[in-house]
Amino acid sequence: MKLFDISGRLALVTGSSRGLGFTLAQGLARQGARVIVHGRQAEAVARAAEAIRAETGAEVDSVTFDVTDSAAVREALDALTARLGTPDILVNNAGLQRRAPFAEFDPEDWDAVLATNLSSAFYVSRALAERMSQRGSGKIVNIGSVQSQLARQTIAPYAASKGGVVMLTKGMAADLARFDIQVNCISPGYFKTDMNTALWQDEAFNSWVESRTPAQRWGNVEELVGTLIYLCSDASAFVSGQNIFVDGGMTSVV
């Protein structure tokens, strides 16, 4: 089990004050990691950090910054690393969804989706990769989506952003593997998250997901934690640049 031991490792999870990110941060804390909860709203971040601390007994810290602002990212992470040291683990989870028919999609919404889902992973990773490289170790896990491979109506910008995340993962792996930094991507299928509330509460869409997924159900967010632990542990020491679908088989069938 030492291969999967992440006890004492410092992990920053972006967008972890609620939803999927909260579950991922909580999962890391349950396995003994020291977790840094992140978000844009200080009160929400503080509540999430306290909830994880109370439930797991782990060391939990917090940080607030706008992941779409490269200068703010650099400033916040300079201060964070001066206070806590360079994280051993970075999970780029912060994400945004906007829906509209392609011909009606507002350019400002396009910019917001790309900035939050793709540019943020570049900004945060770049700010930490130099320090990880100097140390000679690190684990970076980007959160993608089945939409990195499969498109559907009204979410073309989201699909484009997640496809970009997958290729950013590969590019980062190519540059950083020689510093013993592994960069990988987890692409969830359909999970019952805050972002998807309107979808799983829609009877027709819920039926479509269940029929389209070989497992015949939505995923539970806790089912992503095992893959995350693997990618954050020594068990994946020679795994880099990979995109792992956790989707109940959806991307394996037509």
Domain range list for the chain: 2-246
Q: Which percentage of the chain shows pLDDT scores above 90?
A: 95
Decide if pLDDT at 197 tops 90.
no
Are 32 and 112 a contacting pair, CB within 8 Å?
Answer: no
Q: What is the pLDDT of residue 155?
A: 96
Averaged pLDDT of the chain: 97
Q: What is the pLDDT of residue 200?
A: 83
Helices 120-135, 70-84: axis angle to 10 degrees equals 30
When comparing pLDDT for 250 and 197, which is higher? 250
DSSP 233: S
The top-level CATH class assigned to 2-246 is alpha beta
Decide if pLDDT at 40 tops 90.
yes
CA-closest candidate to residue 61, choices 69, 79, 71: 79
Who contacts 15 (Cβ-Cβ below 8 Å, separation ≥6)? 21, 38, 39, 67, 93, 94, 95
Instruction: Give the model's confidence band at 149: pLDDT under 50 very low, under 70 low, under 90 confident, else very high.
Output: very high
pTM of this structure:
0.97
Q: Which percentage of the chain shows pLDDT scores above 70?
A: 100
Decide if pLDDT at 207 tops 80.
yes
Q: CB atoms < 10 A from the CB of 173, how many?
A: 19
Are 62 and 46 a contacting pair, CB within 8 Å?
Answer: yes
Helices (H) and strands (E) in the chain — how many of each?
A: 9, 7
DSSP 219: B
Q: What is the pLDDT of residue 94?
A: 97
Instruction: Give the model's confidence band at 194: pLDDT under 50 very low, under 70 low, under 90 confident, else very high.
Output: confident
- The whole-number average pLDDT for the span 222-246 is 98
Count Cα neighbours of 58 within 13 Å in the Cβ-side half-sphere.
28
Please give the full DSSP string across 1-14, using - where no structure is assigned: -GGG--TT-EEEET
Q: Known catalytic residues?
A: 158
